[in-house]
Copies of this chain bind each other. A is one copy, B any other.
Amino acid sequence: MLIVMRPDATAQDIERVNDEIRRRGWHPHAIPGGSRTAIGITGNPGAVEPEPFRVLPGVADAIPISQPFKLVSREVKQEDSQVRVGDLTLGGAAIHVIAGPCSVESREQIISTAQAVKKAGATMLRGGAFKPRTSPYEFQGLKGDGLALLAEARKETGLLVTTEVKDTATLAAVADHTDILQVGARNMQNFSLLEAVGETRKPVLLKRGISATIKELLMAAEYIVARGNTQVILCERGIRTFENMTRNTLDLNAVPMLKALTHLPVFVDPSHGIGVRKAVPAMMRAAVAAGADGLIVEVHPDPPRAKSDGFQSLDFSEFEKAMGEVRAIAAAMGREMVRLG
């Protein structure tokens, strides 16, 4: 159920509605919009009768919502949500590119990569410190040292930083060193972690699980937003199919579908989405043409020697060339790409 307030509703009117919701044991969620406020209801066990709300002062309408996701839905909020990270606005007219290595490996590696991707037009830096790996015997990241190196790269270049948060135990440390918390594909339905990042006020980049439906991705975002953290960016990163020539099948269909269903910004990870180095630039272009608000791309100074994901990482010159192509597509889409000073 969504209570839509009139443009001239007062703060008192809104509080009155909230009280009515709480009196029933449910939870009100204010969703501020450009011209007026809407209030989502959660915690209700079943259908909610709209009548008792429609008669309250300041209420324009009470709309039953059929979809299992509510707060993230365009039905609840029509305008695009924008996520503020430092001085940047994600989900607005500008397209942003996050770039960097799969794993932080050394000071030299992360600083040189940060400088190169900044020069090529990226506005944010990625790099894994705590790495979830399929095998217990693979490189698991530099952990705390990796976080420190990311912070150093940020200081050096001014790039904002994102890194994956793997579990609740390391969440506080990761949140201290990073501008965006990345929730990886394997954790998309780790509900305890979703709730924990929902309790922070850090922006979250939520990756689609390898076999998650678009609807499940939206419900995972709902877990975070329901805890009060509305700063969520969704990320398509490829799904698992029978095709085995590519690492995953990048589902660009998800981009227009998500843009229609939700007000949250949508990013795409073409590196994991295809997993073939030479083909990554084509998918960067295609993602922007499909309507993505940004990209997250793996870049490494020397891909063949990367400790992880080298086969899908671009080197500096490949990335620079690809960024030029992306810029042309963005312009054709009527969108800008900002450059850090």
Contacts and interface: CB of A to CB of B under 8 A. Distances in A.
A168 B283 CA distance: 38
A87 to B, nearest CB: 28
Contact of A289 (B223, B240, B286): B286
A212 to B, nearest CB: 9
Number of copies of this chain in the oligomer? 4
Nearest to A280: B256
Contact of A219 (B135, B192, B213): B135
Contact of A136 (B222, B255, B290, B329): B222
Contacts of A289: 282, 285-286, 288-290, 329
A176 interface: no
B239 A133 contact: no
Contacts of A191: 132-133, 136, 166
Contacts of A288: 289
B239 A132 contact: no
A320 interface: no
Interface in A245-290: 245-246, 249-257, 260, 273-274, 276, 278-279, 282-283, 285-290
Interface string A160-180: 000000111100000000000
Contacts of A253: 243, 246, 249-250, 273-274, 279, 283
A238 to B, nearest CB: 8
Nearest to A273: B253
A306 interface: no
Contacts of A54: none
Interface stretch (A74-82, A182-190, A294-302): A182-190
A158 interface: no
A: interface residue count bin: 35 or more
B278 A282 contact: no
Q: Which 3 A-B pairs have the closest CB atoms?
A: A211-B211, A289-B289, A167-B192
30 contacts: A68-B134, A69-B135, A132-B191, A134-B189, A135-B222, A136-B226, A166-B191, A167-B193, A186-B190, A210-B211, A211-B240, A213-B243, A239-B241, A239-B242, A241-B241, A246-B253, A249-B253, A250-B252, A252-B252, A253-B273, A253-B279, A253-B283, A255-B286, A256-B274, A257-B279, A260-B278, A260-B279, A286-B289, A286-B290, A328-B333
Interface of A: 42-44, 68-70, 132-137, 166-169, 186-187, 189-193, 210-211, 213-216, 219, 222-223, 226, 239-246, 249-257, 260, 273-274, 276, 278-279, 282-283, 285-291, 325, 328-329, 331-333
Given A214-B243, A253-B274, 9 more contacts: A132-B191, A166-B192, A168-B169, A211-B211, A239-B243, A249-B249, A285-B289, A289-B289, A325-B332
